[in-house]
Amino acid sequence: MRRSVSIAGLVLVVTSAVAYANPELLRLQTDDKQWVMPGKDYSATRFSTLNQITKDNVKNLRPAWTFSTGTLRGHEGAPLVVGSTMYVHTSFPNNVFALELNGPDVGRIKWRYLPKQDPSVQAVACCDNVNRGLSYADGKIFLSQLDGYLVALDAATGREVWKVQNADPKVGATMTSAPHVMKDKVIAGVSGGEFGVRGHVTAYDIKTGQEVWRAYSMGPDEDVRLADDFNAANPHFGRQNQGVATWQGDQWKTGGGTTWGWYAFDPSLNLMYYGTGNPSTWNPTQRPGDNKWSMTIFARDVDTGKAKWGYQMTPWDAWDYDGVNEMILADLTIGGKPVKAVVHFDRNGFAYTLDRTNGTLLVAEKFDPDVNWATHIDKQTGRPVEVAAMRTQAGTNSQGVCPAALGSKDQQPAAYSPQTKLFYVPTNHVCMDYEPFEVKYTAGQPYVGATLRMFPGPGGHMGAFIAWDAANGKIVWSNKEQFSAWSGALVTASDVAFYGTLEGYLKAVDAKTGKELWKFKTPSGIIGNPMTYIGPDGKQYVAVLSGVRLGGNRPGGRPRGRYRGARRGRRVQEAGRIHQPGWRVDRVLTPLSDPRARRGRRARPRRARASAAVFWRKRCPSPWPSHSSSP
């Protein structure tokens, strides 16, 4: 199965740079020629101020070049562009390639990093052996490896500068998320909620790799690192001792709440924002209580790791609605007043807008109208008002729960345009039957305890790409997709939004109306995130990783947790039929998409199983096909 990075003549992103933090990154995040962070900027807006590609000429996008990554499995995240070099990551074994963007040999490998990992770690990963990308700072590229190591590489040579262990696969802990650099620290999360891993975030010194602080998702307050004034503005959200008191006995020690999502940072407040995942097990009957601080949005001081506030979205989770999805920082006007907001589209189907200075809940509305596990969020308490029939419990098969465990949206990140004041959100529209059962904890073994069957939601489609007004909690427009929209989003100053589909299309739509303007077929499904930059030739390009793994992983490959249907890349089963949103592709993009072919040189056919393709805007018709395949 092939993975590809598709790059189209597109734009780079910008956000407001605030006052201090890491001076280098504050400068680079506003340089539209580059893309140096996973979310383009500290605010994680995935917005670009570039405007060469417009609603009028986007139809002229053509492939510029492709690069094969050579690995199977799902390809999530986005490449980085720093100066004239593109840095591309892969699924396991998490190879890193530095590619030349200058001169006639665009796409040439400048260096490669090929880590040697124990292959057995693949069986520990829950939901495919993905990697969500790289970060850059201080002349280094930072990589999270599946085997739990955080690595710093010399950006010029690929030489390993330092390497530290952040997670232990022997207890089920792995690493799939991108590291995030904030000030002089690189922040790393951990995966493994389906193995009873107690989640944590850890800050390391970017120069030495020395651990600075670690904060757990649950447990004693000193482990969770609560500030003295934690939740002072909202004491009803919970304050001291909740990380133990809301669990039965010592269940918090295997409580989950892992931290494999996307983070944001406000330098003016010195606060980082991230979410925690599901509590372990998936059987709520075994773990009565709110299970704090799983399913929580945290705001932490970057220097000390102390949590200023935390808001739990799904107390006593009974559906596997991880809260790890991206946090996007935006300055909004709500009720006629300016608000420094953090916006979050949760797996549970509700979009939350909070005051990021103190955690006050301002807006919480369904971004899929067919969400039925809860009627609404009580703004006074912050708690969901549940539908009793949809709360799952051991011994009962709860049928027709919407959304499914993969959520109304999984980790695929949304984008925000400060011009339209809208958020562009790839979503799922899948429901489920959910039957929990008792399971016992054994370190390093799956700790799931539920049987699921997933199927398309009302209307028969399984996804949509929507525009969302976070100030008022309303859908502005929605484009239905046959399958889940599982790629990230990108939006530009010319009001063009990009996203990918599981059928393999990279699409461009009008950011104001949702009208489809252009699409290009890549050789496999797209679960990567579009990004954009300006090449050394002065043209805009957009890149996206393409490639999906059918079926995903069962945790450990063992039946301790029984799966039917889809979860983070699994097949979707409906009435005896299996819908496979991404098909195995044994062909590659035509060599005509290789820049050497356009110079009259014979392009070598590529047999690698994953590839990167680049597109650019042409004012005249292209002399070669916009898409094709070779046998």
In order, the DSSP letters of 219-265 are SSHHHHTB-TTTTTT-GGG--TTHHHHTSSTTGGGG-B----S--EE
Percent composition of the chain: helix, strand, coil (DSSP 3-state, to 5): 10, 35, 55
Find all residues with CB under 8 Å of 287, minimum gap 6, and list them.
Answer: 247, 248, 251, 255, 279, 280, 281, 316
DSSP H or E stretch at residue 201: strand 200-205
Distance CA 550, CA 187 (A): 31
Distance CA 256, CA 242 (A): 15
- Cα–Cα separations (whole angstroms), residue 430 to 192, 335, 351, 531: 23, 33, 17, 27
Q: Which residues of 307-345 are buried (b: 16+ CB within 10 A; e: fewer)?
A: bbbbbbbbbbbbbbbbbbbbbbbbebebeeeebbbbbbb
Q: How far is CA 298 from the centre of its chain?
A: 17
DSSP H or E stretch at residue 451: strand 450-456
Return the number of other C-beta atoms located less than 10 Å from residue 532's C-beta.
31
Encoded tokens for 34:
């580059």
Q: How far is CA 25 from the centre of its chain?
A: 21
Q: Is 558 left (phi over 0), alpha (psi -120 to 50) or beta?
A: beta
Residue 359 amino acid letter? G
Residue 559's Cβ-side half-sphere holds a number of Cα atoms within 13 Å equal to 1
Do residues 259 and 180 touch, judged by C-beta distance below 8 A?
no
Could you confirm whether 228 is annotated as catalytic? Answer: no
Residue 24 amino acid letter? E
Return the number of other C-beta atoms located less than 10 Å from residue 379's C-beta.
12
Q: What backbone phi and psi angles, to 5 degrees, belong to 401?
A: -80, 130
Could you tell me the end-to-end alpha-carbon distance of the chain, in angstroms, rounded to an integer? Answer: 14
To which residue do tokens 């998409």 refer?
593
Choose the catalytic residue: 320, 368, 410, 433. 320
Distance CA 50, CA 491 (A): 10
Distance CA 517, CA 22 (A): 38
Find all residues with CB under 8 Å of 122, minimum gap 6, and list them.
Answer: 92, 129, 146, 553
From 537, 494, 584, select the one nearest 51 (Cα to Cα): 494
Rg (CA), the chain: 22
DSSP at 557: G
Cis omega (within 30 of 0) for bond into 93: yes
Do residues 315 and 326 touch, judged by C-beta distance below 8 A?
no
Please list the active-site residues: 320
